[in-house]
Amino acid sequence: MIIAISLPRFPLLVAMLAEGVGGDTPAALAPAPGGPQLIGLCTPAARGGGVRPGLRVGEAIARCPDLVLIAPDPDAVAEAHERILVRLEALGAAVESSTPGAACFDDAGMTRLHGGRDNLLRRVRAALPVGADGRIGVAPTRFAAQQAARQAQSRLPLIVAQPEVAAFLAPLPVGRLPLPQVAIDGLWDVGIRTIGAVAALPRAAALERMGFDALRAWCIARGEGDAPLRPRRPPEPLEAHCRFEEPIGILGTIEVAARLLIVELADAARDRGTSLRTLQLRARLADGGSWSQEIALREATADPDRIALAALGALGGITAPVAELRIRADASGGQSSRQMALERPEHAERRQRAGEAITQIRSALGENAVMHAIALEPWSHLPERQWALAPYDISSHRDPRE
């Protein structure tokens, strides 16, 4: 069985806790700096005042004059989410997570380890933050477990057995299926509003309506097997940061600071005998809130130039002066991580042997024993002006370890 957890409005709750705003306050996430002026997640009190995510700021305030706008804080959200994952992994779970405030794992082997499913679920609930309205769902597939977590009560896990999956999913809105919005809109246009209506489609009709790419969604709607979980590899964190005396709004200065932090992280990884796999760039903004961007390196490396090439471009997304810059890295890559090569090793060995042979020939017959032609004036009509002979350069044949 798959166990899923869900913390509704998690980014808003973390930002409210950082600002000291009470849970019964009509509050909503303010627009990100430089982004569209639209309201984000909102509290039940704000919903009671007519506020909904996606409203323009002016309209939201007109509907609810007491509305409190909270600056988004993705930095604090990432830290809080990481603490939850670490607690779950401490229970022995191999956790998959792609969204802050949500995660799932297979309970195979854990039920016996913790003395039964009830004991395991109690420990999972204890790993969730107090007051975050954490919910737990259990089902045979990832999608069903995630939906069970969304439908569960805050203190009562919802368990869906294999024979109950299709009936449980049937009344849920079709928008919860992992489909692009265009496909969902198309289903609505023909009157298909629930997951059960999708499951009732014949396979041929499902292919016609959703295409081959979304055929998995049709299988999920029928309660059939989902894709296997892909648990994360627990990170080995490294962190470097700098705090500016005055907020910095010049991109070039921020890039210089980031490059220095990258060199510091790369040196620390080499000292450990490891390399970096992912980076998380975080900036504390001068006007409140934070900016965050996660970068996955194509290959684990401890080369600061390669890391900087992958990371510095993301700093252009910062749209406000920066008071503090922080880079957190996952240093779980191996020391001998595979690097991209421009040629195969046997080619380098052949060139080295050819260079040694040329050296021996010249020692016996003189420097002019081995020559090569170089182009002088290829456009000339006189052959003697088109090409010339010069001593062959063997520097490219030397052992690169010398």
* 231 is a domain residue: no
Instruction: Specify whether 100 is located in the same domain as 122.
Output: yes
* 150 is a domain residue: yes
Instruction: Specify whether 247 is located in the same domain as 116.
Output: no
Last residue of a domain, one of 160, 183, 203: 160
Residue from 302, 309, 297, 299 nearest 275 by CA: 302
Q: Could you give the residue ranges of the DSSP H alpha helices within 248-331?
A: 251-272, 304-311
Instruction: Specify whether 211 is located in the same domain as 261.
Output: no
* 20 is a domain residue: yes
* 29 φ, ψ (degrees, to nearest 5): -70, 130
Cα angle 137-230-151, degrees, rounded to a multiple of 5: 15
Instruction: Specify whether 147 is located in the same domain as 280.
Output: no
Instruction: Specify whether 146 is located in the same domain as 277.
Output: no
Residue 259 and residue 253: Cα distance in Å, rounded? 10
- 380 is in which domain, residue-wise? 345-397
Instruction: Specify whether 212 is located in the same domain as 241.
Output: no
Q: Please report, in tens digits, the pLDDT of each residue of the chain (402 residues total).
A: 888 888 888 888 888 887 787 778 888 888 876 678 888 888 888 888 888 888 888 888 888 888 888 888 777 888 888 888 888 888 888 888 888 888 888 888 788 877 788 888 888 888 888 777 888 888 888 888 888 888 888 778 888 888 888 888 888 888 887 777 777 777 787 787 888 887 777 777 666 666 665 677 777 777 776 777 888 777 677 888 888 888 888 888 888 888 899 898 888 888 888 888 888 888 888 877 778 888 888 888 888 888 888 888 888 888 788 888 888 888 877 764 454 555 555 566 677 777 777 877 877 777 777 877 776 666 667 766 677 777 777 665 554 444
Residue in this structure with the two tokens 């008071």, named with its chain if needed: 323
Residue 288 DSSP one-character state = S
Instruction: Specify whether 302 is located in the same domain as 353.
Output: no
Sort strands 2-6 and 135-139 into parallel, antiparallel or unpaired. Answer: antiparallel
Residue from 311, 302, 264, 258 nearest 283 by CA: 258
CATH number at residue 244: 3.30.1490.100
- The answer to whether 55 touches 39, Cβ cutoff 8 Å, is yes
Instruction: Specify whether 23 is located in the same domain as 66.
Output: yes
Q: Is 323 helix (H, G, I), strand (E, B) or coil?
A: strand
Phi-psi label, residue 255: left if phi above 0, alpha if psi -120 to 50, beta otherwise: alpha
Residue 158 and residue 164: Cα distance in Å, rounded? 12
* 232 is a domain residue: no
